[in-house]
């Protein structure tokens, strides 16, 4: 099934470059482009993309407000923020707006392609540097804590959690641990359930706050 992608960025050359990069994968189709937030909202309503790659700072209207509006109108859509800024406040604001990912534009093309596909598949995608800063910022403001759910994890589930803490996608976890992607998804679901958390970011925070990530 082809993943339909809408690009929202005020830099023409960057949009063209992203379109060319994504166009190299037969499973991805760029269905539209726009240069500001309000246009992205309108285009998303008409085109109904699976994934919107959204810049944050655009002269005609910011991407964070557009993200919230798109997801309010189309809950099934996925928005991945793609920006040159990996500041903590942008990460938190993007996640609060409902974004499913936050990647910096300096990522290698292959990583961007893989992230878009993973985002379309339901994963919460955060680049390694973004994830590190987000978790570090959160952990610094909280005391170490015990999480009983960790004791319920199998050895394999702990390996998956540690891989998640490294910022790996399901595909990358499968490659690292020699598992099929469907098996990885099953383990991730079980990890989230046992830890009693909502998503991957919360699971990674648990791994760091408990000290498991440092020990691993």
pLDDT digits (tens, 9 = 90+) for 157-187: 999 999 988 878 888 899 999 999 999 999 9
- Residue 53 above 90 pLDDT? yes
Helix axis angle for 200-209 and 181-195, nearest 10°, is 60
Q: What is the structure's pLDDT at 145?
A: 57
Tell me the CATH number for domain 3-127: 3.40.50.2300
| Residue tagged 């499973």 (tokens) | 27
Tell me the CATH number for domain 142-215: 1.10.10.10
Contacts of 84 (CB under 8 A, 6+ apart): 104, 105, 106
Give the domain ranges of the chain: 3-127, 142-215
More confident: 8 or 93:
8
Q: What is the structure's pLDDT at 216?
A: 47
pLDDT digits (tens, 9 = 90+) for 182-203: 999 999 999 999 998 877 777 8
- Residue 143 above 60 pLDDT? no
Pairwise CA distance, residues 60 & 182, whole Å:
41
Identify the H or E element spanning 90: helix 88-96
- 67 — pLDDT class (breaks 50, 70, 90): very high
Give the highest mean pLDDT range of 117-126, 127-136, 160-169, 198-207.
160-169
Find, among 126, 40, 113, the residue nearest to 77 by Cα: 40
Bridge partners, residue 32, by sequence: 6
Pairwise CA distance, residues 44 & 130, whole Å:
26
Cβ proximity of 56 and 89 under 8 Å: no
pTM as predicted = 0.72
Q: Six-digit token pair at 198?
A: 């909502």
By three-state DSSP, how is residue 63 classified? Answer: helix
Instruction: Report the range of poorest mean pLDDT among 52-56, 129-133, 146-150.
Output: 129-133
């Amino acid at each position: 099934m082809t993943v339909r992608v809408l690009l929202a960025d005020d830099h023409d050359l960057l949009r063209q470059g992203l379109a060319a990069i994504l166009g190299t994968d037969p499973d991805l189709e760029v269905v539209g482009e726009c240069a500001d937030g309000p246009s992205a909202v309108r285009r998303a309503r008409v085109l109904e993309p699976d994934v919107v790659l959204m810049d944050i700072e655009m002269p005609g209207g910011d991407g964070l407000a557009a993200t919230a509006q798109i997801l309010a109108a189309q809950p099934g859509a996925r928005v991945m923020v793609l920006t040159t800024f990996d500041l903590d406040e942008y990460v938190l604001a993007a996640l609060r707006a409902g974004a499913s990912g936050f990647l910096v534009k300096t990522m290698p093309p292959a990583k961007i392609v893989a992230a878009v596909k993973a985002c379309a598949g339901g994963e919460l995608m955060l680049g390694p540097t973004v994830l590190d800063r987000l978790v570090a910022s959160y952990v610094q403001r909280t005391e170490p804590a015990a999480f009983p759910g960790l004791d319920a994890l199998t050895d394999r589930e702990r390996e998956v959690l540690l891989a998640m803490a490294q910022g790996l996608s399901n595909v990358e976890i499968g490659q690292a641990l020699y598992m099929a992607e469907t098996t990885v998804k099953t383990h991730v679901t079980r990890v989230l359930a046992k830890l009693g958390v909502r998503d991957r970011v919360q699971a990674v925070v648990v791994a760091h706050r408990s000290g498991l990530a440092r020990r691993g």
